[in-house]
Amino acid sequence: MNPVVDYRTKIARPNLHQLRPYGDTMDDGKVQLSFSLPVPDGAEAVEAARQLATKMGLRDAAVVHHEDIGEGFSFFVLYGNCQHAVDYANIHVPKVDVERMDFYAVNAFIRDRIGRKVVILGACTGTDAHTVGIDAIMNMKGYNGEYGLERYPEIDAYNLGSQVENAELVRKAIELRADALLVSQVVTQKDVHLHNLAHLVDLLEAQGLRERLVLVAGGPRITHELALELGYDAGFGPGTLAPEVASFVVQEMVRRGLA
């Protein structure tokens, strides 16, 4: 379906019921993709890449870059025209539904509604050693102009770092009488993040702790919907800042009577 034209400005506007990628002109469906194949670089490999892109549904697929990346593997960049569209106007994505408070409002909320310090533990669990995300939320210096939870006077924040086994996180939660656990997962090969996140929920339930904690997952492939499916209270993706997490944790505590 063609884009809608605003005749007052003569500018084409996207048809939100038939939304396609934008490249050079509205509604042209132009996309770029890249992938590797386990074959040596050459004419046959280029043709294989082109055919694969065509089978993905791209029209006029063309390999614009290819190179040998060693050990019998090749890398490809392709352009093509996507023939499919989505009904953007009727997309509904589960999101964390909470009032976002700033640093000062979160601390005031804790003083007024909870009346004691909130204990929050954060960690990269399992074999995950990527601490950039959890550090942005937990560390005192924070990220992007926002203080981390260690700076909040009404929060006792413990950043346990990387490669923390789930059993160790549960032990620390008991020792420190945690109110909330923040679990960061960046490594996703073979869906290890899913298994690791689910395993933590199993351990907490076995210890009778799950209902006494606010459980939050975060990472580049974490969505709120996925987190809920895995038994968590909320999921936050890339770009999340400390006030968003803190706002959810303290309001969830009050909502569930955990204060």
Residue 94 has pLDDT above 90, yes or no: no
Tell me the per-residue pLDDT of 56-76, one tens digit each, with 9 for 90 and over: 999 999 999 999 999 999 999
pLDDT for res 2: 60
pLDDT for res 95: 87
| Cβ-Cβ contacts under 8 Å for 26 (sequence gap 6 or more) | 3, 12, 13, 14
117 or 94, which is more confident: 117
Active site residues: 141
Task: Label residue 11 by pLDDT band (50, 70, 90).
Answer: low
Residue 4 has pLDDT above 80, yes or no: no
Q: What is the mean pLDDT of the chain?
A: 94
pLDDT for res 165: 97
As a three-state string, the secondary structure of 96-108 is: CCCCCCCHHHHHH
pLDDT for res 79: 97
Average pLDDT over residues 218-237: 95
Task: Label residue 189 by pLDDT band (50, 70, 90).
Answer: confident
Q: Are 178 and 119 in contact (CB under 8 A)?
A: yes
Task: Label residue 3 by pLDDT band (50, 70, 90).
Answer: low
User: What structural domains and CATH numbers belong to the chain?
Assistant: 12-88 (3.30.30.60), 103-255 (3.40.50.280)
Percent of the chain residues topping a pLDDT of 70: 96
How many C-beta atoms lie closer than 10 Å to residue 149's C-beta? 27
